[in-house]
Amino acid sequence: GEDVEQSLFLSVREGDSSVINCTYTDSSSTYLYWYKQEPGAGLQLLTYIFSNMDMKQDQRLTVLLNKKDKHLSLRIADTQTGDSAIYFCAEIPPGNTPLVFGKGTRLSVIA
């Protein structure tokens, strides 16, 4: 079966950088997304990257894409306690099919 894979937990100290990794399933996926989910809330779109890009930076967020290895990462610089949440990686495989999500990485930020 096809699975988007993420490590389940990550713990960092406030002020450090966080790197959340994801392995997706289809090298032809057109868009790759990162969503943030706080307790009891819906999904907040953080950023996304087109498959023809290697990197995208948006303020404290940096997304790196390695298409050969089907690896996506999200780096959060100067991690704050407000960044504590679950982060989901998602892809849209070819054929305008729906988003396929990983199980999420729970980021805990220690003050």
Partner 1 sequence: DAGVTQSPTHLIKTRGQQVTLRCSPISGHKSVSWYQQVLGQGPQFIFQYYEKEERGRGNFPDRFSARQFPNYSSELNVNALLLGDSALYLCASIPEVGEAFFGQGTRLTVV
By CB under 8 A, residue 103 contacts partner 1:
yes
By CB under 8 A, residue 41 contacts partner 1:
yes
- DSSP H stretches of helix in the chain: none
The angle formed by the CA atoms of residues 77, 32 and 96, to the nearest 5 degrees, is 160
By CB under 8 A, residue 99 contacts partner 1:
yes
CB closer to partner 1 out of 82 and 98: 98
By CB under 8 A, residue 97 contacts partner 1:
yes
By CB under 8 A, residue 53 contacts partner 1:
no
CB atoms closer than 10 angstroms to residue 50: 10
Which listed range, 16-24, 39-47, 52-60, 66-74, lies at the site for partner 1 (CB under 8 A)?
A: 39-47
By CB under 8 A, residue 44 contacts partner 1:
yes
C-alpha 25 chain-centroid distance: 14
Residue closest to 47 by CA, chosen among 8, 109, 56: 56
